[in-house]
Structure 1
């Protein structure tokens, strides 16, 4: 059993009315608005592997693609709803990814790609969301191999960025293999570092440090911790060794699947901010590799306090960065390096270029495969 990296219910807000609201503080703090004249996320698909996404929320109107659910809503009964284009088996395919009984995935998606029409734009307001449901009605997943299968499906169905606002303490070989599969297919993977229990954080937030959660601790995954409005680590956010970046993660305004908006806190939502920043970079530089996108985000971050990795993400600076070199030793899993050596680096390099061309300019699959 594993958890999401968030505290979801803090305060329910009413839906916006009348004049448009200011840009949300977290979007401004992460440097997105200066990037929008150059890149707004258009042409980029972000997979939200989560609790589903409410496609009917006004903030996400037109942003949510048909997805897929891996959650078995009612074992032993006939499927209630099948994901578009899916087969009738396995039993995990029980509902559209475009529904969200929990609300976690909807909040994450809105932080990434909410449209400006409601006055609360996300980081990449023209990106598309590919919802893949793996969290049950209690906001948990019980089978890490199922989440790995969801990641592979997202990669095969057009994702340029995969957001994983979930994780746990234990490694999973099938899940890790799916992350390696995403890397081989030039997909940026972002995950949350995890949250401390409030009792473990201590009064000043200094106590109870723990290891960065899996899968965030995989080298090719951008591991994201959360900060407050002052740019300090949020008291319950896991940070320290293994953290790559920080982003706003406390008291953020996000879409509520029940309607309107809510305030959310946790590294789940900090990860969403970085996924949105990655979408902006991919939109501006469709020829950059996943490794180059990661390096652009980390090399341009604002230096911050101890344990916050390279610092607080700055989307505009990353978009404006010169093409960063890709570090093969840091970005390519050992198993893939061995395969590349055996098969011939030239052929694999050609394959990667052809794959990127297909993903960016041609056949980003809109018809979901089973």
Structure 2
């Protein structure tokens, strides 16, 4: 915890400067987009704007050259082979300097999904459209292929572990599917064990179709499961919601960075998840001493009341940053035998326990997995 606190020494100074910048006369800074205001971010910026916080975007990569993300994107990693074949290769540090090398660092995005997500989290004010936490840093980890899908949940679990080991304070998972995965669940438990906040989308469904259950991994108990709302704060009609949903956030007709240049309009719970990841970054920046569990509880406890299918309600980042510490009181400690077993098994038992406590029943790796 001490190392994290040391990284935030300048957070208050930087955040105050940002608040002054964004409140300057017209033309001096980018206007605040509606979804950032709806998420309650501007009131938090005088206290914290994400400085010192690393948000891992496990997605399709991130275009590090987009003006909205100038200076925000760290070297990352790709788990997707640029030259698909019978034996996929793991691309990471040390690759040759060619297009494969660029993709290896997760700083290219052939799909555009990850770039949009990253800009909603940490878009810089000078680029055009500021994000919820405009001083946070993005750690890009590519797991989605050129069709915006992943076909190996164990690989995504490995990406989660890599993000934890490489400095992530928050992990955004704007992806998921209908089937549980033991390796993926164990990676989520690994993140929890290392005090990392994990946020995931609840999923999308066909308009007018049967109601779907919350996607995996969002339905794991230690993951903040986020559904999407429209400008009126009502559930967007294709957003999965209901049991297992923790929070809601703007998720329809948002303006985000386009990996091809400029901006585009995006809709889906993927983007609602990004809004909550930005809010989590603000809370971590303001309260570096708080645990991941305390950050989750602050966000849930301070949400603006919404419909019955929106979990605790619509995220309010400003209220979460200003929350009294009493809303983040720690729960009863985990029994020592569970703790010891989880440590010995690399956190696996906690991951399985979280799923069982949620009343879920399927444990199988299946290929029907996608971005939210």
1:167 to 153, 171, 176: 176
Match of 1:230 in 2: 232
CA RMSD of aligned residues (A): 2.8
Give the alignment of 1:33-112 within 5 angstroms. 33-76=42-85, 82-85=91-94, 95-112=104-121
Structure 1 residue 309 displacement after superposition: 0.4
Q: Distance in 2 between matches of 1:225 and 1:302?
A: 14
| Structure 2 segments unaligned to the other structure (5+ residues) | 1-26, 346-372
Provide the TM-score with structure 2 as the length reference. 0.79
The reply to whether residue 178 of structure 1 matches residue 187 of structure 2 is yes
For normalisation by structure 1, the TM-score amounts to 0.80
Q: Measured at CA, do residues 179 and 334 of structure 1 come closer, stay the same or move farther in structure 2, by a change above 3 Å?
A: farther
Question: Which residue is 2:329 aligned to?
Answer: 325
Deviation at 1:77, TM superposition (A): 9.6
Report the counterpart of residue 196 of structure 2 in structure 1.
Answer: 187
Give the Å deviation of 1:342.
9.1
Offset from partner CA, 1:160-192 (integer Å, 9 cap, x none): 000000000000000000000000000000000
1:264 to 2:273 alignment: no
Q: 1:143 to 1:80 in 2, by over 3 A?
A: closer
Q: Specify whether residues 122 and 93 from structure 1 end up closer, same or farther in structure 2 by C-alpha distance, changes over 3 A only.
A: closer
3-state DSSP class of the match of 2:184? helix
Q: Is the 8 A contact 1:23 1:119 kept in 2?
A: no
Q: In the alignment, is the contact (CA less than 8 A) between 2:226 and 2:245 conserved in 1?
A: yes
- Structure 1 position 142, deviation (Å): 0.3
* Alpha carbons of structure 1 residues 35 and 333: separation in structure 2 relative to 1, 3 Å: farther
- Gaps (5+ residues) in structure 1? 1-17, 201-207, 344-370
- 8 A Cα contact 2:249 2:275, kept in partner: yes
Change beyond 3 A, Cα 1:179–1:341? closer
Matched-pair contact (CA < 8 Å) for 1:50–1:104: yes
1:127 to 2:136 alignment: yes
| Residues 243-258 of structure 1: pairs in structure 2 closer than 5 A | 243-258=245-260
C-alpha separation in 1, matches of 2:337 and 2:41: 36
CA drift at 1:39: 0.3
Distance 1:117 1:93 in 2: 25
